[in-house]
Structure formats: structure tokens, C-alpha cells
Amino acid sequence: MTRVKRGTTRIKSRRNTLKQAKGYRFGRSKKVRQAHEAIAHAGVHAFGHRRKKKKDFRRLWQVKINAATREYGNISYSQFIFMLKQKGIGLDRKSLADLAENNPEIFKKVLEKVK
């Protein structure tokens, strides 16, 4: 069997690991073992937080819609969503929040249509 020297591949592996850990604090960005451990933990958190991000955005949209409904129509968020469903208006929370923030006049029209 032929002899395999791992010098270049080892350096390449180390360089890639440290490149991934760029911006980490203290030894995690300089020492390979600590960097490897930090990358592993970061991957776990990234996986979970991709799911959490969706919940966070939905909460943000609810807050924006609630603020707009109270300002323009003097009704609560839950009442507004209930009336939307009764009238059969199929706007989702993301688009409603965008209307409330960027196009308040259109959001007022939606509110009037719902009432």
C-alpha cells in the first residue's frame, strides 16, 4: 500500500474550519479544536432557530396588525381576524402587516370593508 502524507489536506481542513469560525470571540476563532466545537454548536442552534424565526415573524405581524387596527378602526386584533374570516377575505397576516406599515390608506379600506 502506498504511503499517504496528509500535510496539505490537514492544512486545508484547518483553514476551512477557521474560516467558518471567523468572527467568533476569543479562542474559538483562532484554535482549531475550539473552533470545531463552536461550529458544531452553532449548527445545532442554526437548525432550531430556522424554525423559531417563522414564529418570531408571525408574532411581529400580529403586533403590527393589532397596532394598526386599534389606531384606525378601534378594534382588537382578534376581532379583526374573526371579521376577516366571516367576510371571507383571504389576506394573510404577512400581507396585512405590510399594508398596515407601508400603505395605511389601503389598510383603512380593508378595515372599512370588514366592518
Which pLDDT tens digit goes with each residue over 54-110? 999 999 999 999 999 999 989 999 999 999 999 999 999 999 999 999 999 999 999
Give the pLDDT of residue 115: 86
Q: Is the pLDDT of residue 4 over 90?
A: no
Given pLDDT bands bounded at 50, 70 and 90, which one contains residue 22? very high
Q: And the C-alpha cell for 76? A: 382588537
Residue 75 · residue 110 · CB < 8 Å: no
Give the pLDDT of residue 56: 97
Rounded CA-CA distance 96/61 in Å is 8
Which amino acid does the sequence have at 83? Answer: M
Given pLDDT bands bounded at 50, 70 and 90, which one contains residue 5? confident
Residues 6+ apart with CB under 8 A from 24: 35, 38
Q: Name which residue leads in pLDDT, 42 or 73.
A: 42
Quote the pTM value.
Answer: 0.72
Domains contained in the chain, CATH given: 8-114 (1.10.1900.20)
Q: And the C-alpha cell for 100? A: 398596515
